Amino acid sequence: MSEVIVVTSGKGGVGKTTTTANVGTGLAAMGKKVILIDTDIGLRNLDVVMGLENRIVYNLVDVVEGNCRIKQAIIRDKRYPTLFLLPSAQTRDKSAVNPAQMVKMISHLKDQFDYILLDCPAGIEQGFQNAIAGADRALVVTTPEVSAIRDADRIIGLLEANEIHKIDLVINRIRSDMIRRGDMMSSEDVVDILSLPLIGMVPDDENVVIATNQGEPLVGTSTLAGKAYQNICQRVTGKEVPFLDLEKGISFWARVSGIFHKG
């Protein structure tokens, strides 16, 4: 039985695409059959984050319009035998697809994949409606900032209004140094405000930028963010994994590097 997960946030630039790429890759690395669908028509990005931009022939709009068979549009990731990408169209706009078409397309994919991950565009317009139309559950990505949390709250309300009740929270770009100074809301603060179950805490890690530069998802690497994404994947499959203590983790390394500096 497959699960259709939409990754959404409301606000742009909080890490939806990075989360989709890493969670999808991590699930595939666990042996699950996964397809990532970029639903941001006109502003596609999941292909570049995955490093698959040179292999696109057909796209989501071609599938919906019947210009090709769905199999022709799906790109297989050579690094993981069970990971696939359905890219979005770059030269069309959001009105090229409607929610009913999305539901129909997803229903065709359901029996072929364990997980279908939908990378949602920013905003609450048609692109959002398209992305959530066929979803069973949602990952809401936010950062510990007032604007991102406000938008996340609005998105959660809209998801609930659309009968999506399994919603989990990913808090991205956590900076433990700022939290310790009292200059950033902690994950407890964010969970308290949004009242959603927490599925992931991802630190603000420069390795995310490096990984994106290279088109290589960092899930599974020894970086802190890579570990955080790995844990999210485990929790998505229903396993209970303790949260990385980001504060302690960093202060520990700070202590270690402090020792080296002294020596």
Partner 1 sequence: MFKNLLRRKSSREIAKDRLKILLISDRVNCSPEMMEMIKNDIAKVISKYMKIDTKSMEIQITKTGNKGRSLKNPTLYANIPILDLMNHDIP
Residues within the interface to partner 1 (CB under 8 A):
145-146, 149-150, 153-154, 156-157, 160, 179, 181-186, 189, 193-196
164: left (phi over 0), alpha (psi -120 to 50) or beta: beta
Comparison of 163 and 183: residue with beta carbon closer to partner 1 = 183
CA distance 149 to 171: 10
Question: Phi then psi for 201, rounded to 5 degrees?
Answer: -125, 115
Whether 150 and 177 have beta carbons less than 8 Å apart is answered as: no
Q: Six-digit token pair at 58? A: 């057909």
Comparison of 103 and 193: residue with beta carbon closer to partner 1 = 193
CA distance 86 to 145: 31
Quote the least distance from Cβ 73 to partner 1, whole Å. 38
Quote the least distance from Cβ 203 to partner 1, whole Å. 17
Quote the least distance from Cβ 261 to partner 1, whole Å. 28
Quote the least distance from Cβ 182 to partner 1, whole Å. 3
Comparison of 88 and 186: residue with beta carbon closer to partner 1 = 186
Comparison of 75 and 185: residue with beta carbon closer to partner 1 = 185
Quote the least distance from Cβ 156 to partner 1, whole Å. 7
Comparison of 171 and 179: residue with beta carbon closer to partner 1 = 179
Comparison of 53 and 168: residue with beta carbon closer to partner 1 = 168
Quote the least distance from Cβ 161 to partner 1, whole Å. 11
Quote the least distance from Cβ 181 to partner 1, whole Å. 8
